[in-house]
Amino acid sequence: MKDLIFENSEFLNSNQAFPIRVLSEWIYPRDQIKKWKITDTIVLFGSARIPSPEEVAKEEQIILSRSSPDAERIWQNKKSLLNSYKDAQEFAKKISEWGENLPVSNGPRKLVVCTGGGPGIMEAGNRGAKEAGFKSLALNIQLPYEQGTNPYADPEMSFRFKYFFMRKYWFIKLCRGMVAFPGGFGTMDELFEALTLVQTHKISKIPIVLYNSNFWKKMIHFEMLVDYGLIQKEDLKLFHYADSAEDAFTFLKENIHF
């Protein structure tokens, strides 16, 4: 006898069942988030390759052991970003505590930290929330490398997505504020997705923080886009630079709209 259709793994993993898989990545998170009574999130993202303080020595050894004339230069550059882990951890503590005690005037709300669930900055976000005694969301993604779920993500509040676009949907759906720490392609992708949605009024304006002004100003010359007439000068107000956990926390707290 054949398996029941909805238990047929060969079918569920086929091209024909693509819509079913997409719906699963919408329905299941929706129901779980509703069960946990989460109404709002602060999305925190950045590089998976920024090590925790416990892993710095190991990371240095890995980089310097590479047979590359640029290894020393790369390590010196990376060292300037190492504080991002502790800062993300500290920020997550502050915003988690604030989110647990929102003013009654805002109605029955529950705000939590939301990360991509992986290592590096994502780990720091989940770790900070956990060390402060609060739970946090982790929206993981199926990848061939780098993306195992970090040990500080709460198992019952973690999801593992197959599709980037569904993961992005849940990053934005409940987002009331966003902090982008230094990162690579994935970080840039998530940042520009959010900036585009706000700029085009596809979502309500949310406060967006670019953490580590030296990194971001060197990485992206936003003013050049204004000079070339590719964005408006007003678009530069879509984000705020911060260089301390306290500054990022204060800016978000003062600019979040419920």
- pLDDT exceeds cutoff 70 at 193: yes
CATH class of 20-52+83-255: alpha beta
Mean pLDDT of the chain: 93
**More reliable by pLDDT, 107 or 221:** 221
* pLDDT computed for residue 258 by the predictor: 85
If one counts every other C-beta atom within 10 angstroms of the C-beta of residue 98, the result is 15
pLDDT in tens, 149-192: 899 999 999 999 999 999 999 999 999 999 999 999 999 999 99
Using CA atoms, how far residue 180 sits from 21, 84, 213, 255, in Å, is 29, 11, 11, 16
pLDDT in tens, 67-119: 788 889 989 999 999 999 999 999 999 999 999 888 767 678 899 999 999 99
**Domain regions of the chain by residue span:** 20-52+83-255
* H-assigned helices in the chain: 9-12, 18-35, 56-64, 71-79, 83-100, 121-131, 164-173, 185-199, 213-219, 222-227, 245-255
